Amino acid sequence: MKNLIMTFAMLFSVVLMAQTDKPLMEKEGDLTKVTYFHENGKVAQIGFYKNKKIHGQWKAYDVKGKKIAVANYDEGKKVGKWLFWNENGLKEVDYSDNRIVSVTNWNNSNRVVINEK
């Protein structure tokens, strides 16, 4: 299961780096807000950088504009709850100090929670 979660996390990171067009960058205090777009013009990802490191909440969207992931960073380190939506439900991954602490699967069909630690 951890391999699956790592795949999701890597996919999220790869999508971030794989955008072909230059992102929109806006200064907000000591943060830089970055918005990546899909080829169709819809937002692909929105997030922040601080001191040249991913920081704060990042959100990812599919090509139709539906939210598919929310991630949290603390100056480049994965922290807090990460959420991944797909056709089967919701996957909740808890990070602490850049490491997976737990994984919870929320299944749409039977409302059963599967928690793995």
Domain 2-116 has CATH 2.60.120: no
Sign of CA dihedral 84, 87, 90, 91: negative
Angle CA 25–28–33, to nearest 5: 35
What would the two tokens of residue 44 be? 């692909």
Query: Residue 104: beta bridge partners?
Result: 92, 115
Length of the chain: 117
Element (H, E) at 9: helix 2-17
What does the pLDDT look like over 42-63, one tens digit per residue? 999 999 999 999 999 999 999 9
Could you give phi then psi for residue 69, rounded to 5 degrees?
Answer: -160, 145
- Is this structure's pTM higher than 0.85? no
CA distance 16 to 82: 15
Domain coordinates in residue numbering, the chain: 2-116
What does the pLDDT look like over 60-116, one tens digit per residue? 999 999 999 999 999 999 999 999 998 888 999 999 989 999 999 887 665 555 555
- Which residue pairs, CB below 8 angstroms and at least 24 apart, start in 42-45? 44/15, 44/19, 45/15, 45/16, 45/19
